[in-house]
Amino acid sequence: MKKSDFFELKEIFESHDNILILTHKSPDGDTLGCGFALCAYLRDIGKKANVINNENFPVRYNFLYDGYYVQDFEPQFIVAVDVADKSLFGSHLTRYMEEGAVDVCIDHHISNRGYAKRTFLDGKASAAALILFEYFKTIGYKISDFIAMCLYTAIATDTGCFKYQNTTPKTHIAAAELMQYDIGFEHINRKMFDVKSKGRIKVEQSVINNMEYYFNDRCTMIVITTELMNNCGAEPAEFEGLASIPLEIEGVVIGITVKQRHENVFKLSVRTTEEVDASAFCRRFGGGGHIRAAGCEIQGNLQEVRQIVIKAVAEALGEEYDD
Amino acid sequence: MKKSDFFELKEIFESHDNILILTHKSPDGDTLGCGFALCAYLRDIGKKANVINNENFPVRYNFLYDGYYVQDFEPQFIVAVDVADKSLFGSHLTRYMEEGAVDVCIDHHISNRGYAKRTFLDGKASAAALILFEYFKTIGYKISDFIAMCLYTAIATDTGCFKYQNTTPKTHIAAAELMQYDIGFEHINRKMFDVKSKGRIKVEQSVINNMEYYFNDRCTMIVITTELMNNCGAEPAEFEGLASIPLEIEGVVIGITVKQRHENVFKLSVRTTEEVDASAFCRRFGGGGHIRAAGCEIQGNLQEVRQIVIKAVAEALGEEYDD
């Protein structure tokens, strides 16, 4: 993004009021970090602003909205942060899926659908928060410790704490600057990456105990049935975000999470290393996504779905398989 | 450290040959990364140099010594990297524990005992590798991709991938520079932080299944008996580095790993959050360490040791406890 883009954005914010900030469904650290950082900034420059999501804000991120309160106003200007497509607003916010409903979108997804009237996109940014950080620096706005904390959280969570391929030198340099504010980055990281609830531990134990290995352990699969979820004694929320587990085993090149949606409908989350194209794998079943992380839905009973998946894995790996 | 220190170090390296580099026992990414980076540099400037350790180099770090070969020479100059005390050379290298046996030590442990004839110490550096990186930059030495990979690995592993409190702005800025070399940082991170062997998964499952909770889950304990190790069907090496697990549960302020050494001897590894001083806790039993990570040894049978530990935890937490 160019300097002039940031000054255009500044002009836009300064010439509007009663601003509603939309975050994407199944909200993560980036969309929430951006949402609350932007809200704090807008309120600081004298605007009325709120942040909303399709669901309640997850407790996991409670430190981002600890001092947040809803302001009373009729929204006149709509800004989406880290939302690639309007379908990601979720079913409670369908009114914003209409043509022209969103005024500004700030995003880093290369796949952004351009649904907003004006989109500020940097597809190379590790996190949408990096765009916001550059915005604040460019316009010379002195961010608060709170805003720094929101931005750091967003950047750290979207990069797996600077671990993943999407991390860039810019990501590290932003972190170096943001951690100099009073944000307690080590507490944020402990909460985001190291700590699990007892329920979550139970769930992970249960799925790992039942992990299935195929093709000389090059493929692993975890299956989460409704029955397992009911019997595990943990909240449904504890079953989110398990998709990375099958790929955590040494030597695995494709890791699959099969989660029961309805009696004969299963959702697949596929994670791969360089050898396999997850997106191509899922497209065969009408799904899609990124090259290392994709998803799709398959109908049938569990036994049928398992057979279909193993057969497709065999083909992807060039392995023999008789079903 | 001052610029003049680095130029002194350059002068030292240039005026010596047949250099042996010592790494600490139970070698980690920092000591090995420094060792192999320094070795590559010394060989590049025309010196003979080798790296040794008390044990074999761990397979986990094989990418650091993939192209390494031992050179044939009689050591004339001894350099220790990331080794705070000569006792850390290990039982096979006792000859280097003698007074004056080590010529130079490059280290970041504030607790360094000053056993070398000349110590280059920066207690504020997140990793010893940061000192080496600053050395190369200061003297204007153009590092290779391999050296960059060694240094990145050292820095990433010593900071938990930029997660822990010892991370500083300098750490991030170094990472930003090092990742611009051809090092495949995302593969390093996947190998170091995300991938586990099947044996390790088994071990973790087993210790988590048997995790003990005390004082409203503010204390957790895992107990690793010789029997458990024998029956788990995993290599003894898979039982290393489990000490962080008990602290991974939400709300836990003291996490204890009790590992059987001999029939009636147990080693404690204690990890704490801000509420408890791990070092003080362990000092009561003749041990010590850092404020958040410390260790000690307790004698007795398992039941006795458990009672002693729980009683000490009760006192540390200000809880009632009747044994």
Per domain, the residue ranges of chain B are 3-192, 198-317
Q: According to the model, what pLDDT value does residue A321 have?
A: 83
Residue from A171, A146, A42, A150 nearest A104 by CA: A42
CATH number assigned to the domain covering B3-192: 3.90.1640.10
- Structure-token pair, residue A78: 């709509």
Architecture of domain B198-317: Roll (3.10)
**In the A/B pair of chains, how many CB contacts fall below 8 A?**
105
Greatest Cα pair distance, chain B, in angstroms, is 67
Is the predicted pLDDT of residue A289 greater than 80, yes or no? no
Provide the β-strand partners of residue A289. A294
List per-residue pLDDT tens for chain B, 323 residues long. Answer: 999 999 999 999 999 999 999 999 889 999 999 999 999 999 999 999 999 999 999 988 999 999 999 999 999 999 999 999 998 999 999 999 999 999 999 999 988 989 999 999 999 999 999 999 999 999 999 999 999 999 999 999 999 999 998 999 999 999 999 999 999 999 999 999 999 988 889 899 999 989 999 999 999 999 999 998 888 888 877 888 899 899 999 999 999 999 999 999 999 999 998 889 999 999 999 988 778 888 999 999 999 999 999 999 999 999 988 76
DSSP class per residue in B185-236: HHHHHIIIII-B-HHHHHHHHHHHHT-EEETTTTEEEEEE-HHHHHHTTS-G
Nearest Cα residue to B45 out of B10, B89, B75? B10
What does each C-alpha distance from A284 to A113, A214, A293, A295, A313 come to in angstroms? 23, 20, 15, 11, 12
Tell me which chain B residue has its CA closest to the CA of residue A202.
B209
What global pTM score does this model have? Answer: 0.90
State the average pLDDT for chain A: 94
Q: Give the model confidence (pLDDT) of A241-266 as tens digits.
A: 899 899 999 999 999 999 999 999 99
Element (H, E) at A262: strand A254-262
Q: What is chain B's Cα-based Rg?
A: 21
Task: Scan for tokens 């009408």, then name that residue.
Answer: A286
Whether residue B185 and residue A196 make contact (CB cut-off 8 A), yes or no, is no
Burial class of residue A164, CB neighbours in 10 A (0-12, 13-18, 19+):
middle
- Cβ B180 vs Cβ B216: under 8 Å: no
Residue by residue, DSSP assigns B24-58 as -SS--HHHHHHHHHHHHHHHHTT--EEEE-SSPPP
pLDDT over 90 at A238, yes or no: no
| CA–CA min distance B88, chain A (Å) | 28
Distance between start and end Cα atoms, chain B: 52
Interface of A with B (CB under 8 A): 160-165, 167-173, 175-177, 179-180, 185-186, 189-190, 193-198, 201, 205, 208-209, 217, 244, 247-250, 273
ipTM metric: 0.89
Where do we find the tokens 């790993």?
A: B257
